[in-house]
Amino acid sequence: MTKALPVRKIGPYTVSAIGLGCMNLSHAYLPRPEPEQAERVLLHALEAGVTFFDTAALYGFGANEELVGRTLMHRRAEFTLASKCVLAEIDGKRGLDGSPAAISRVLEDSLRRLKTDHIDLYYLHRLDVKVPIEESVGALARAVEAGKIGAIGLSEMSAATLRRAHAVHPIAAMQTEYSPWTRNAEVAVLDACAEMDVAFVAFSPLARGFLAGNVGPEGVSKEDLRHAMPRFQPPHLEANLTLVARLGVLANEAGCTAAQLCLAWSLARRDFVVPIPGTTSIAHLDENLATLSLNLPDDLFAAVDAIFTFEAVSGARYTRDAQAQIDTETWVGEPLA
């Protein structure tokens, strides 16, 4: 029997307070699970009460959407489905195209791969500066009118861009990296979301596994997406591991894991924050969801804040090319690749 988890709101949808980011089931991080294991993780999440699944056209160049489509669509009524456009495969490579024609094309491809005629929440994955945000949102507004999507989201965009987009069509969610070690959303976006009644979906709430203790002093393999990110490279890697060690002490004293402490921290920031940790492990999935049964004190979260000040984390979060596609505010003094 499917469990019932605490819930939060995203636009017209009521979703489990912790969702599942599906990316690393078929994209970016290594080791990658076999398809059968990926399917088991998705089905276990649904049985465990997760009702919010997040994928994108980019992930595995469509392979992740195909995975979700073949695994979950026979239980379509039980969950809220989110996917993304703008970043996708173009001529066999990762490409960025926010034009209305490209958005329509990618949406049709996503619907086919997902084996559905309706995506509940559809995001602009990144801001294409060559296309006015009003035109990109307008294309999604027409998709809403056509019944192909239910609500519109943005990803890694600024408060100013959110306001421009919201003036064209109500925005249901802003998705941005957010964890104790990446707190750019606190500069302006969280306040803007509160002002406009926009949910905030926190991706990489465990810092791409780093804050869960999944990365050691050897780092990650060269084929792993994280290898190119400055925070995962020497000398930043060593400096950041000292922060993880301090986080681990706090978690041990509180009787929880570091991953649970980070997820509880994100849930406590605002009542409209929905973290979507990803995992390839059923055990880690259950550990993450068990966070929702914890009752941790505010002073513990204050201790996390004291470790992860804006200046404490070493290194830029993205490479130069990736940072060029990020519209989210930076904080004063933030290192940029």
- Catalytic positions are 59
Other beta carbons within 10 angstroms of residue 238's beta carbon come to 12
**HEC string for 155-219:** ECCCHHHHHHHHHHCCEEEEEEECECCECHHHCCHHHHHHHHCCEEEEECCCCCCCCCCCCCCCC
Instruction: Please report where in the chains the tokens 């570091």 appear, as a residue.
Output: 258
CA distance 160 to 192: 9
DSSP state of 34: P
What would the DSSP string read from start to end of 256-271?
Answer: S-HHHHHHHHHHHH-T
- CB-count exposure of residue 21 (10 Å: 0-12, 13-18, 19+): buried
DSSP state of 23: G
CB 73 within 8 A of CB 114: yes
